[in-house]
Amino acid sequence: MSSERHGGIVLESISKVYPNGFKAVNEISLDIHEGEFMVLVGPSGCGKSTLLRMIAGLEEVTDGTVWIGGRDVTDAAPRARDIAMVFQNYALYPHMSVRQNLAFGLKMRKTPKAEISRRVDEVAKVLGLNDMLDRKPGQLSGGQRQRVAMGRAMVREPAAYLMDEPLSNLDAKLRVAMRAELARLHERLGVTTVYVTHDQVEAMTLGQRVAVLRDGLLQQCDAPQVLFDHPANLFVAAFIGSPAMNLVDATVGEGSLSFAGTTLNVPAGHLPEPGRRVILGVRPDDLTIAENGAPAKITVPVEIVEELGAESNVIFSLDAPPVTADAVTAAQDASSDDEARLLMDDQRSMWTARLNGRRHTAAGTTVDMALDTSHLHFFDPETGATLTPRALATV
């Protein structure tokens, strides 16, 4: 590869194998464009933080090549990579003021004092830290400390920011506010950013593209909406989306689909080839209360209704066991949707429909639920690979 390669980050088949033989990262290739906000997401232990540390030079690369800004930096020291990192624990010096914390890295690099002052003042203005420059970290809130940690990275004016779960120590409300702040900052600065999180909601709201990892392997990398609409496999389907995708074992017929004791008529172009077993996936948003004449509907008992104002989550059971594929279990274990996991039933498939909140549905009633057959998902029970017909990829 020539040094002319673009100014982003390119990972070529990189792997990390520890001395005990454990392969934390398995031949991952990623082309992170200059100025892109790329999110690495996946369960704990999937390799995302290890991958970030390999980009930073904090972990040695066992195999493969790391390029930053067109340079091969695979064996370069961290300080020679022109990157800045933001960690979840802030790592601020408690005895220094905010101004001193912001300036520390530049001072160590023997940056001229006038330049240090210019950069610190500029970053403080962008992050709203002007009134806090003389305070110590102990006098700041969690959100303010995190802004200082980001400011310390920003004053470096690096080629790329690497962020490892920077919001995980904040409470839920502050995390939402800081997500919005991060998105605005990236829009303003346009610097290549690689962001690690285990929270798929955070990944979907922040990333221009999202790379989903599992067990050291890259599962899929695409825009958030593409991951949601066209998951490449069962793990991505079950992991991305909140509430999670509804799943059940099914059998494909000639223009029909059978599951949970029900057979529905489904246009043949919306189905895999007849005669095979599949795992059927239906997003909660693709279920509605059936109107008269709805072609594909199931009659279900409403067990729980969560009223959320503009929408409501209607939870019901199917007369079928839950899907127990390894990929689904891994996605559920990693899910940030703790409430959904509490509602899981060992004997029956528990499904969720996300409905208009003004369409009142009462627990304890029985309703006809219509499926949007143009947005059904199908997966191979053995491999987990998508079997969704290509015709649906353009819908």
pLDDT of 1: 34
Between helices 172-189 and 142-154, what is the axis angle to 10°?
20
Would you kindly state where each structural domain of the chain is located, as residue ranges? 9-229, 234-394
Q: How far is residue 386's CA from residue 331's CA, in Å, rounded to a whole number?
A: 16
Question: How distant, in Å, are the alpha carbons of 169, 262, 304 from that of 319?
Answer: 41, 9, 16
Residues making up the chain, counted from first to last: 395
Residue 6: CB atoms within 10 A of its CB come to: 15
Please give the average pLDDT of every successive group of 10 residues along the chain, which has 395 residues.
60 97 96 96 93 96 96 94 86 92 90 93 89 93 88 89 88 84 87 93 94 97 96 96 94 95 90 95 94 83 91 93 88 64 68 88 91 94 91 48
Token match 């004997």: residue?
347
| Selection from 231, 277, 256, 240 nearest residue 393 by Cα | 231
Q: How far is residue 267's CA from residue 254's CA, in Å, rounded to a whole number?
A: 9
pLDDT of 390: 66
Q: Looking at domain 9-229, what is its CATH homologous superfamily?
A: P-loop containing nucleotide triphosphate hydrolases (3.40.50.300)
pLDDT of 268: 85
Q: How far is residue 186's CA from residue 225's CA, in Å, rounded to a whole number?
A: 19
Q: Which two tokens stand for residue 376?
A: 């059904």
pLDDT of 345: 57
pLDDT of 394: 45
pLDDT of 335: 65
pTM of the shown model: 0.89
pLDDT of 358: 82
pLDDT of 87: 83
Q: Which two tokens stand for residue 78?
A: 């961290």
Q: How many helices (H) and strands (E) does the chain have?
A: 10, 20
For 305, phi then psi, to 5°, come to -125, 120
Q: Using the Cα atoms of residue 228, residue 267, residue 258 and residue 362 in order, give the sign of their dihedral.
A: positive
pLDDT of 343: 54
pLDDT of 2: 34
Query: Which strands, in side-by-side order, build the sheet including 9-17?
Result: 23-32, 9-17, 63-68, 71-72
Q: Half-sphere exposure (CA, 13 Å, Cβ side) for 180?
A: 5
Q: How far is residue 157's CA from residue 162's CA, in Å, rounded to a whole number?
A: 13
Q: How far is residue 271's CA from residue 229's CA, in Å, rounded to a whole number?
A: 16
pLDDT of 338: 52
- CATH fold of 234-394 reads OB fold (Dihydrolipoamide Acetyltransferase, E2P) (2.40.50)
Q: Strand, coil or helix: what is 95? A: coil
